[in-house]
Amino acid sequence: MRWFTLILVLLLSALQYRLWFGKHSIVEYRQMKQEVEQQRMQNANLIQRNALLKADIQDLKIGLDAIEERARNELGLIKRGETFYRILPQ
């Protein structure tokens, strides 16, 4: 009976060691869970960015207003007969 108890205690100790410090341990599980959460947040940001880009593409395909706005903001273009004023901070 004493040997049986000793074997069970050793087996329990080995299993506990593996649970806390071995491969696929609780510590590793928590780290992996944190990485998954970070990846989910990154994916959500990318999904939002993609939606904005899709909307921008639709605007460019449909109307000239979006093209004109982009030309003004990014390229600094102005229409004929317009006067461009730049206000600089002091």
What's the domain count of the chain? 1
Tell me the three-class secondary structure of the chain, residue by residue: CHHHHHHHHHHHHHHHHHHHHCCCCHHHHHHHHHHHHHHHHHHHHHHHHHHHHHHHHHHHHHCHHHHHHHHHHHHCCCCCCCCCCCCCCC
Per the CB < 8 A criterion, the answer to whether 84 and 78 are in contact is yes
Q: Does some domain include residue 17?
A: yes
Q: Report yes or no on 84 lying in a domain.
A: no
pLDDT of the residue at 18: 82
**Residue 22 within a domain:** yes
Residue 17: predicted pLDDT: 82
User: Residue 65: CB partners within 8 Å, gap ≥ 6?
Assistant: 59
pLDDT averaged over consecutive 10-residue blocks of the chain (90 residues)?
90 84 85 96 97 88 79 82 83
Judge contact between 67 and 74, C-beta under 8 A.
no
Domain that holds residue 39: 2-75
pLDDT score of 43: 98
Is there a domain that residue 30 lies in?
yes
Q: What per-residue confidence (pLDDT) applies to 31? A: 92
